[in-house]
Amino acid sequence: MSAAYKESIDPESQALLSQDNNEYAAREEPPSSGRRRTYRLRHLWLAYAAGILSAVFVELFLCSHYSIPIWPSESSTDAAAYADFASPDAGSTEVHNFPPASPTNAVPSLFPTDVGHAGPTPTGAEPALVATAPSYPLHTGAPHLLGPVALERNSSSKSDPQFDIFKHWGNLSPWFSVERGSFGVDSGPEAPESCRVTGLHLLHRHGARYPTQWASYGGPANFSARLHEAADGWNASGQLEFMNNWTYKLGEEILTPFGRQQLYDLGVSMRMKYGFLLKNFTESNTLPVFRTESQDRMLASALNFALGFFGYPFEGQYQQSITIEDDGYNNTLAPYKTCPNARDRTKSDRAIPYVKQWADIYLKDALARLRPQLHGYELTIEDVYTLQQMCAYETVAIGYSRFCELFTEEEWKGFNYAMDIYFWYDSAFGSPVARVQGIGYVQELLARLTHTPIPVHNSSTNATLDDNPVTFPLGQSLYVDATHEVVVLHVITALNLTNFAVDGPLPADHIPEHRAFKSSHLAPFATNMQFQLLSCESHPDPQIRIIINDGVVPLTGIRGCPEDKDGKCPVPAFVAAQREIVSKTDWNWACHGDWQVPPGPAWNTTTGDAPEPGTV
Ligand SMILES: *[C@@H]1O[C@H](CO)[C@@H](O)[C@H](O)[C@H]1NC(C)=O
Ligand SMILES: *[C@@H]1O[C@H](CO)[C@@H](O)[C@H](O)[C@H]1NC(C)=O
Ligand SMILES: *[C@@H]1O[C@H](CO)[C@@H](O)[C@H](O)[C@H]1NC(C)=O
Ligand SMILES: *[C@@H]1O[C@H](CO)[C@@H](O)[C@H](O)[C@H]1NC(C)=O
Ligand SMILES: *[C@@H]1O[C@H](CO)[C@@H](O)[C@H](O)[C@H]1NC(C)=O
Ligand SMILES: *[C@@H]1O[C@H](CO)[C@@H](O)[C@H](O)[C@H]1NC(C)=O
Ligand SMILES: *[C@@H]1O[C@H](CO)[C@@H](O)[C@H](O)[C@H]1NC(C)=O
Ligand SMILES: *[C@@H]1O[C@H](CO)[C@@H](O)[C@H](O)[C@H]1NC(C)=O
Ligand SMILES: *[C@@H]1O[C@H](CO)[C@@H](O)[C@H](O)[C@H]1NC(C)=O
Ligand SMILES: *[C@@H]1O[C@H](CO)[C@@H](O)[C@H](O)[C@H]1NC(C)=O
């Protein structure tokens, strides 16, 4: 079962796959078939009764009682005080199908797309903010999203006026510029003094999406379905009262409107900073080639990026390579599709047991607080964790979520850390299949940096595409690739960006005071990683820097890269070290080898490497 079961699971299972293998077998039916509403006689009766009662209720209490309490007052947590009934639809899935399948007024011939008369269209010079401005404009806030009015108060700790809930959702955070120095280099993304930017390789994630199809720990759709089907009906009071007429409004997998904007904005931002690199294409009479994968949100992300970067219409300005993300296809941007050991959770799943251990700790108080406010459905730790996911997902999908205010700052920090634990052990330095899955992209990066085709296709690289100079050009000044957060983390691991791994295996019983590895910094929605190429007066060799979400990354874990105040490394040294890493990474063993690592602390990696042959 194990090799097969993950076939349809999204790589980005924020999702948190359970280590309990029996649960896998239960997952036969695609959850999309769960888009249903169930009405029962009892519900209809309740609705009728609720109608009458609430009319009376409104009459009596509207003026004095209407405001929704943000914090529970003594009385609102008292089970006797609630008066709302759960509506028959509460917890059900609500779907608005747009566009209509056959609209009656669709007459394309009356709405031509090119009517001429465009007026004058002279163009100007390309922007070059990274070179011309005294500093680099940062990406802050999340326009169009509304955070909670207030958070649950913790009487024994002072609230931090700087606390930003949007930065505490791990991989579900909207990307933001990390603070200067976050990764240990006190420098900005703007070209260092006496250096000129000569190239950019951008690797980015898709924007905000709905939850992935399936989850065995957490998973908002699963929770709402359980709630809706709760055997004897339920109702909510106090802080959860809003759930009495709450419906589940999230789809699956695809970009949300906000996610679309993130990629459009990223495209605009990159054009503003690096537009001048396009001059190179005009001189060589070629078009840029950007890559993405076939998945709906990946394609939509790439095209939104292109709209931002090139403007409408982008046709004729670049070529979009859409690689296939599906079982059995070699794809460096979706390497798990050909790496069986990564798909077989019994071999490599280290994350879930740790996440469960941590959730049991940090959500204990929240469970005790929330459980008495839901009657007829007994909340578990996993459910409460799901309510936190619900906050993040609802916010990035529909702009606002009542679930956010249910938790304290400490609990949001705990949620954020749960994500760090998950991604450390699942996709990064703590995973035995992280480096091997990142190595294909590293091989491609080497080919591009050295203008030399990939010598051997023995990883996730696709020879058909990568050996063709049209589909995989070498020697361009600008590359843009779209992928998943897990792959970004694989690449970070494969490259030996060891500053993120200095704290060793992440503990699951407390949040370490200082930790370098933060999923909200490395893998948020629309996370972006710039490989910046520089020509500097002070150095004869071309230089490379890595900038993740506007934070400069130290390259000192890479052999031959010197300490540098701006995080630079000479390209020849960088290339030599990465070649060594490629030669020491064994795809066959890591992806196909007959090994299995035990869950828990009996085995560790902090380099993302598979166990040595003969050790497990
Ligand atoms: C309240 O704050 C204290 C002290 O910081 C902390 O130990 C505790 O976990 C917090 N409780 C909640 C529910 O966040
Ligand atoms: C929820 O997930 C569990 C596995 O953890 C599965 O057994 C169950 O069928 C799912 N329920 C729904 C309603 O999707
Ligand atoms: C739910 O109830 C609140 C107040 O009781 C009301 O403002 C809101 O419109 C209702 N929402 C729905 C979807 O019925
Ligand atoms: C390589 O990519 C091409 C184009 O997407 C695809 O047709 C082919 O099957 C891929 N090859 C392998 C071995 O995955
Ligand atoms: C709320 O649910 C509980 C448990 O299912 C039930 O005993 C109670 O009557 C319900 N109250 C209302 C107002 O529906
Ligand atoms: C696909 O990957 C496998 C494993 O690395 C490799 O043997 C094969 O040559 C690759 N195929 C292509 C077309 O790249
Ligand atoms: C374009 O940029 C690449 C990479 O920086 C460089 O090798 C190449 O010489 C440039 N081509 C032209 C025509 O400027
Ligand atoms: C990569 O990092 C590991 C562990 O820190 C180190 O032992 C190794 O020498 C590094 N390799 C290169 C080529 O930088
Ligand atoms: C690919 O093959 C080369 C040459 O045999 C070997 O050194 C290297 O370890 C292999 N790389 C991967 C990623 O398997
Ligand atoms: C793995 O890491 C954990 C957490 O730091 C530690 O307790 C344990 O001893 C380590 N195990 C091994 C085999 O190094």
Give the model confidence (pLDDT) of 82-113 as tens digits: 445 677 788 888 999 999 999 999 999 999 99
Please report whether residue 88 resides in a domain. no
The confidence score (pLDDT) of residue 216 equals 65
Q: Residue 170, class by beta-carbon neighbours within 10 Å (0-12 exposed, 13-18 middle, 19+ buried)?
A: buried
The confidence score (pLDDT) of residue 436 equals 98
Q: Is the CB of 459 under 6 A from ligand 9?
A: yes
Q: Is the CB of 255 under 6 A from ligand 8?
A: no
Please tell me the number of the ligand nearest to residue 589's CA. Answer: 9
Whether residue 329 sits in one domain with residue 301: yes
State the total domains in the chain: 2
Whether residue 545 sits in one domain with residue 402: no
Question: Rounded mean pLDDT of the chain?
Answer: 87
Tell me how far apart the alpha carbons of residues 510 and 495 are, in angstroms, rounded to a whole number: 28
Of 419, 444, 465, which one is at a domain's C-terminal end?
419
Please report whether residue 67 resides in a domain. no
pTM: 0.88
Please tell me the number of the ligand nearest to residue 505's CA. Answer: 10
Please report whether residue 8 resides in a domain. no
- Site to probe by mutation for ligand 9, drawn from 456, 578, 581 as the one with most ligand atoms within 8 Å of Cβ, is 456
The neighbour count for residue 281, using CB atoms within 10 Å, is 16
Tell me how far apart the alpha carbons of residues 430 and 601 are, in angstroms, rounded to a whole number: 11
For residue 344, how far is its CA from the centre of ligand 5 (angstroms)?
A: 44
Whether residue 504 sits in one domain with residue 475: yes
Q: Is the CB of 235 under 6 A from ligand 5?
A: yes
Whether residue 325 sits in one domain with residue 465: yes
Confidence band, pLDDT 50/70/90 cuts, at residue 348: low
Whether residue 390 sits in one domain with residue 270: no
Closest ligand 2 atom to Cα of 18: 5
**pLDDT-above-70 percentage for the chain:** 86
Q: 526's torsion region: left (phi>0), alpha (psi -120 to 50) or beta?
A: left
Mean pLDDT, rounded, for 37-50:
38
DSSP secondary structure, 391-446, as one string: HHHHHHHHS--GGGGGS-HHHHHHHHHHHHHHHHHHHSTT-TTHHHHHHHHHHHHH
CA 597 from centre of chain: 26
Of 366, 390, 419, which one is at a domain's C-terminal end?
419
Whether residue 447 sits in one domain with residue 322: yes
Mean pLDDT, rounded, for 299-307:
98
Please report whether residue 231 resides in a domain. yes
The counts of H helices and E strands in the chain are 20, 10
For residue 474, how far is its CA from the centre of ligand 7 (angstroms)?
A: 10
Q: Is the pLDDT of residue 571 over 60?
A: yes
Closest ligand 10 atom to Cα of 604: 1
Q: Is the CB of 410 under 6 A from ligand 1?
A: yes
Q: Is the peptide bond before 99 cis (omega within 30 degrees of 0)?
A: yes
Atom 13 (ligand 7) nearest CA: 284
Whether residue 486 sits in one domain with residue 466: yes
Give the model confidence (pLDDT) of 137-147 as tens digits: 999 999 999 99
Q: Which residue has the higher pLDDT, 64 or 362?
A: 362
Please report whether residue 459 resides in a domain. yes
* 45-59, 79-93, 562-576: least confidently modelled range: 45-59
What range defines the domain where residue 405 resides?
220-252+345-419
Give the model confidence (pLDDT) of 227-282 as tens digits: 888 767 899 999 999 999 899 999 999 999 999 999 999 999 999 999 999 999 99
For residue 92, how far is its CA from the centre of ligand 8 (angstroms)?
A: 51
Whether residue 566 sits in one domain with residue 499: yes
Q: Which residue has the higher pLDDT, 348 or 456?
A: 456
Tell me how far apart the alpha carbons of residues 295 and 524 are, in angstroms, rounded to a whole number: 18
Please tell me the number of the ligand nearest to residue 338's CA. Answer: 6
Mean pLDDT, rounded, for 34-52:
37
Whether residue 372 sits in one domain with residue 263: no
Whether residue 365 sits in one domain with residue 226: yes
Please report whether residue 548 resides in a domain. yes
Please report whether residue 509 resides in a domain. yes
Bridge pairing between strands 195-205 and 528-536: antiparallel
Whether residue 259 sits in one domain with residue 247: no
Atom 1 (ligand 2) nearest CA: 222
Please report whether residue 428 resides in a domain. no
Closest ligand 6 atom to Cα of 458: 5
Whether residue 587 sits in one domain with residue 491: yes
- Site to probe by mutation for ligand 10, drawn from 604, 612, 615 as the one with most ligand atoms within 8 Å of Cβ, is 604
